[in-house]
Amino acid sequence: MLQRQKNWFQRHIDSMDFGERLADAVAAGMGSWRFIIIQTIIVAAWMVLNAVAYISHWDPYPYILLNLLFSTQAAYAAPIIMMAQNRQSDRDRVKADEDFQTNIDAKKEIEQLQIRLNNIDIEKLDKIIALLEKLDKQQS
């Protein structure tokens, strides 16, 4: 069975450990509209429930507990997002190296083709000159 060679991205994904995969998943989730919408619904519900609570306001205005939750979320989210960004930088660097190597290989191949085409042109010119010389000898 023919086995396909892995590209740079597949090799990078395979080299990631559980923590790196988790950080990327969390960063991707927190950077989505789904997360923003769900968080907005939760915050709105939190504020409404605290505003209309008749007996007990567990977090009265100015919502100090809610602010504490946001601060805790931000304290954990920032380093996780930075880890994901660092890995994205690593991926970009590897991709740039792969692209550079591909460009070098393509340049070498183009140069070889150009040499072959020049050789073909030279051979054609040599044949034309030989035919012209032969024709000139026949006319003389």
Residue 10 maps to a domain: no
Residue 3 maps to a domain: no
Residue-level pLDDT at 43: 92
Range of the domain at 106: 18-139
Residue 6 maps to a domain: no
Residue 84 maps to a domain: yes
Residue 9 maps to a domain: no
CA distance 117 to 106: 16
Q: How many folded domains does the chain comprise?
A: 1
Residues of the chain with pLDDT under 70: 1-4, 54-55
Residue-level pLDDT at 106: 95
Residue-level pLDDT at 104: 95
CA proximity to 92, closest of 32, 8, 26: 8
Residue-level pLDDT at 79: 92
Residue 131 maps to a domain: yes
Residue-level pLDDT at 57: 78
Residue-level pLDDT at 1: 54
Q: What is the pTM of this model?
A: 0.60
Residue 11 maps to a domain: no
